[in-house]
Chain A
Amino acid sequence: MRWQDPALQSVYSAPGSELPGEFPFTRGISAEPKPWIMGQYAGFGTPAESNQRFRALLQAGVTGFSVVPDLLTKMGIDSDDPRAVGEVGRVGVAIDSLADIEILMDGIPLEQISQVRTTANSIGYIWAALFVALAEKRGVNPAEFGMFIQNDVLKEFIARGTQIFPPRASLMLAVDCIEYCAQHVSTWTPLAMSGYHIRESGASATQEVAFTFANARAYLDECVRRGMSVDQVAPTLFTFLAITPDFLPEVAKFRAARRVWAQLMRETYGAQEAASEQLRIFAFTAGSSLTAQQPLNNVVRASLEATAAALAGVQTMHVSAYDEALGVPTEAAATLALRTQQVIAFESGLTQTLDPLAGSYAVEQLTNELVESITALMGEIDERGGALACLESGLLAEELSAAAYRQAQLVESGERVVVGVNKFPAEAEPLEVFRIDEATEAAQVGAVRKVRAERNQPEVDSALARLSADVAAGQSVMPATIEAVRAYATIGEIVAVLEQHLGRWQPTDAF
C-alpha cells in the first residue's frame, strides 16, 4: 500500500512524443517499470571471510552481489609473491586459484543468484574461466546464473591502473573473454563498459560517457574483425556509470547515454536487434563524493545520488557505504547502503513510473546538450585514431589529470561546496571502522602453497604449455585458461606465462 493519491501511471507523455521502450530509448529500455537489481560491493580478507559476508547479504535480500578481488588478484599476482606484502585481502578478497573460488561460493546456490558481479578487468578472462570451471564441478550449467565481469581493461589505463600488459595485448585478452561468452554463455555480461572510474578520476559527465563509448568501440571493432556480429555481442553488454551529487545533470546523463548508444548501434554498427540498441545501465554512487569528515553526511549524499539514478531508470544499482572514505565498509554500513536502495525502491513509488522527469524543460535541455557534447567528443577521439591510440599517447590520462586538478581547486576555493569540509566544518565522533584481520595474509599464503603442493602438477604443466602455445599462435586464451584453472593453476602462473609473450606495461611519471 502506497501513500500516493492519486494512483500513479507507469508512463506519462505528451501526444506524439518518444515513449519508454522506444528507439532511441532516451526514456528507458523497457516499456514496463521493472525494479532494478540491488547489488552491493563486498569482499575482503580470505575467501572464507567473504563467503560469510555474501551469505549475510543474501539473507538481507540482495538479488545480486559483487565479488571484489583484492588488488593482487586484480593484477594477476599470487598472495605469496614478494610484491604481495601488505596487500593480501586488503581491498577485496584474495583469490589465487579455483580452490579459493570454491570456498568463496560455498553454500551459495549459483542458480539462485541473478547477478554475480566482479571488478576483474586485467584478469577478466581468468575470472570467466574460474566460474566456468566452478559451474562444471558443481554440475550447474553456467548459463543458469548471471555473471557480470567488468573486463574493461582499456579504462584501467586511464583510471585506476590495474593493467598488466600493454594496451593492445590487453584489448585482445578482453575480447577473448567477450567472444567466449557470446558463443558459450550468452546470459553472462562479459564487459561492463566502465565510465565510473573515469568519472572518479576527474572527468566531466561528457568525458565519462564519451571515453567509455570510445573504449567500447575498440572492443566492438575487434569483435567484428573476428567475425562476430554486433547483435551477438552488444545485447550482452552493460555500461557502468557513476552517480555524482550533480543531481539534474546526472539524470540527464543516463538519458543521454541511452540515446547516444542506441544511435551508435543503429547508425554506425548497423545493429538489427533492439536489444543491441538498449543500453543497460549499472549505476554506482560516486565514492569520490564521500568525505572522511562527518562521515554520516555520506548517507545523505548516497541517498540523493541513488534517487537520481532511480529517476533516470537503471537496471542495477550500488549505493556506497558511508564509511568508505575511511576504509572497507563495516557490515552495518554496507547494510544501511542496501536499506537506502530498498527505501527508495519500495517506499517512494519512484519505481512505478518510467522516466518521470521527461518533459521537464531543464532535464530535456540538459539531455540534448549532453547528447551533443558526448557525440562531438566521441568524434574527436575517432579523428585522433580511436580510444587505443589516445590512451597509448597518454592524452586521455592528461585530460583527466587536468580536470581533477580544476575540480580540487573549485573545492579548495569554496566555489564547490562540500558540506562538512569547506562549509560547516565541525568535529565529529570518530567512527568505528572495519579492520582487516592481520592473520589473513599468512593464512592465504599458506593456502596457495598448499594448493600448489597438492594439485596434479603434470596436468598444470600441460595446460600452461598449451596456453603458451595458444597465445604465441595468436589464438584465444580461453580454452587453455579454463583447462589451467580446472587443474588449479594459480592466477599468477597464468599471467606469468602470458607475460613472456605479451610483455609488461610500463608506468609513466607524467602528472
Chain B
Amino acid sequence: MNLPRGRVLIAKPGLDGHDRGAKVVARTLRDAGFEVIYTGLRQTPEQVVAAAISEDVDAIGLSILSGAHVALTRRVLELLGDADIPVLVGGIIPEADAAELREMGVAGIYTPGTALAEIVAEVERACAAP
C-alpha cells in the first residue's frame, strides 16, 4: 500500500459560496494520493485553523472568490502563528494582491485556468517542506 503524499485541508473561509474550484482541487488531490479534508462553506478563519491543527494537516488550501482574500488569508496566517503549516490560495486574485499574499508568506497562488498538475506539484512540495 502506498503512503499518502500528504494531508491537506481544503477550506472555504468567509462567506463566498463558489465551491466548484475547491471541490475540483479536493478531488484532484485525493485522486493524486493525498488525504483531503474539505471544510465545507462559510468557515471563519478560526474554524479553518482549528480544523488544520486538529486534523494535523501538512498544508492548507484556501479557496476565495469573493474578493476578501487578503483580509481572510492574513487572519488565517496570524492565527496559525508558529504552527508551521504552509498556506496556498486559489481564487479571483489580481496580480497586485498576489504579490501582497506572497509577501505575507503564502506558498502558492492559483487563478482560473491554473493547471491542476501545477497545483498538485506545489501542494506536494508544500507538504514535504520541513
> Do A and B bind?
yes
- Bound-complex Cα distance A72 to B16 (A): 9
- Known A290-B112, A292-B111: A86·B19 in contact at CB below 8 Å: no
Q: A291 to B112, Cβ gap below 8 A? A: yes
* Most chain B Cβ neighbours within 10 Å, of A77, A328, A412, A430: A412
Say yes or no: A160 contacts B17, CB within 8 Å. yes
Contact across chains for A328 and B67 when beta carbons are under 8 A apart: yes
Interface membership of A509, Cβ < 8 A: yes
Number of B positions contacting A (CB below 8 A): 39
A404→B94 contact, CB < 8 A: no
Contact between A327 and B67, CB atoms less than 8 A apart: yes
Residue contact B17 to A161, C-beta cutoff 8 Å: yes
B23 lies within 8 A of A87 (CB): no
A404 to B39, CA, bound (A): 19
In the complex, are the beta carbons of A412 and B19 less than 8 A apart?
Answer: no
Q: Once bound together, how far apart are the Cα atoms of A145 and B93, in whole Å?
A: 37
Hey, which chain A residues are within 8 Å of B15, CB to CB?
A: 71-72, 75, 77, 83, 87
Interface residues on A, range: 35 or more
- Contact assessment for B24 and A408 in the assembled complex, using a CB-CB cutoff below 8 Å: yes
Question: With A292-B111, A509-B38, A509-B40 in contact, do A90 and B24 touch (Cβ < 8 Å)?
Answer: no
Interface residue from A156, A288, A420, A511 paired with B23 (Cβ < 8 Å): A511
CA distance A202 to B16 in the complex (A): 17
| Neighbouring B residues of A91 by C-beta, 8 Å | 66-67
* CB-based nearest A residue for B26: A511
Whether A412 contacts B111 by the Cβ 8 Å rule is: no
- List the one stretch of B68-76, B79-87, B122-130 in contact with chain A: B68-76
Check B37 against A509 for contact (C-beta < 8 Å).
yes
Say whether A87 contacts B28, CB under 8 Å.
no
B27's partner among A83, A288, A326, A511 (CB-CB below 8 A) is A511
Q: Is A422 an interface residue (CB 8 A)?
A: yes
Complexed CA–CA distance, A91 and B14 (Å): 13
Q: Which residues from chain A contact B92 at a C-beta distance below 8 Å?
A: 324-327
- State whether the Cβ of B102 lies closer than 8 Å to any Cβ in chain A: no
Closest Cβ neighbor of B65 among chain A residues: A91
Closest to A420 in B: B113
A residues near B24, Cβ cutoff 8 Å: 404-405, 408
Asked if A7 lies at the interface with its beta carbon under 8 angstroms from chain B, I say: no
Q: Are B41 and A161 in contact (CB under 8 A)?
A: yes
B16 to chain A: closest residue by CB: A71
Question: What residues on A are CB-neighbors of B40 within 8 Å?
Answer: 507-510
* Complexed CA–CA distance, A424 and B70 (Å): 31
Return the CB mask of B29-53 against A: 1 if under 8 Å, else 0.
0000000111111111000000000
Contact of B94 among A72, A400, A433 (CB under 8 A): A433
Interface string of B82-101 (1 = CB under 8 A from A): 00000000001011100000
- Decide if A345 is an interface residue (CB 8 Å cutoff): no
In the bound complex, CA of A510 to CA of B30 (Å)? 13
B116 at the interface (CB under 8 A from A): yes
A200 at the interface (CB under 8 A from B): yes
Q: Is the CB of B95 within 8 A of A430?
A: yes
Which B residues touch A194, using CB under 8 A? none
The answer to whether the Cβ of B117 comes within 8 Å of any Cβ in the partner chain is yes
CB distance from A245 to the nearest CB of B (A): 14
- Indicate whether A86 sits within 8 Å of B113 (C-beta atoms), given known contacts A201-B20, A408-B28: no
| Residue B10 lies at the interface, judged by CB distance under 8 Å to chain A | yes
With contacts A201-B20, A292-B111 taken as known, whether A86 is within 8 angstroms of B41 at the C-beta atoms is: no
Distance A292 CA – B109 CA, assembled complex (angstroms): 13
A86 touches B71 (CB 8 A): yes
Once the chains bind, are A401 and B27 in contact (CB under 8 Å)? Answer: yes
The answer to whether the Cβ of B115 comes within 8 Å of any Cβ in the partner chain is yes
Does any Cβ of B come within 8 Å of A436's Cβ?
yes
Please measure, in the bound complex, the distance between the C-alpha atom of A179 and the C-alpha atom of B19, giving whole angstroms: 32
For the complex, is A162 an interface residue (Cβ under 8 Å from B)? yes
Cβ of A8 under 8 Å from chain B: no
Cβ-neighbour of B38 out of A77, A202, A325, A510 (below 8 A): A510
Complex alpha-carbon distance, A290 and B19, angstroms: 17
- Closest B residue to A89 by beta carbon equals B67
Cα–Cα, bound, A403→B87 (Å): 27
**Which A residues are in CB contact (< 8 Å) with B18?**
160-161
Q: Which of A83, A324, A418, A509 has the most CB of B within 10 A?
A: A509
Partner of A418, one of B19, B26, B28, B113: B113
CA A412 to CA B28, docked complex, whole Å: 11
**Would A326 and B94 be within 8 Å (CB), given that A292-B112, A405-B28, A436-B67 are in contact?**
yes
User: With the chains together, A248 CA to B29 CA distance in Å?
Assistant: 34
Contact partner of A161 (CB less than 8 A), chosen from B19, B111, B116, is: B19
User: In the bound complex, what is the Cα–Cα distance between A290 and B28 (angstroms)?
Assistant: 21
Q: A409-B116, A511-B27 are in contact. List 14 more A-B contacts (CB 8 A).
A: A71-B15, A72-B15, A83-B15, A87-B14, A161-B19, A161-B41, A201-B19, A324-B92, A400-B20, A420-B113, A421-B113, A508-B40, A509-B38, A509-B40
- Pick 25 A–B contacts, CB within 8 A, sort by A: A71-B66, A86-B70, A86-B71, A86-B72, A91-B67, A161-B18, A161-B42, A202-B20, A288-B112, A292-B111, A326-B92, A326-B94, A327-B92, A401-B20, A404-B20, A405-B28, A412-B115, A412-B117, A430-B95, A507-B42, A509-B37, A509-B40, A511-B10, A511-B22, A511-B23
Can you list the 4 inter-chain pairs with the closest CB atoms, starting with the nearest?
A: A161-B17, A86-B71, A90-B67, A86-B68
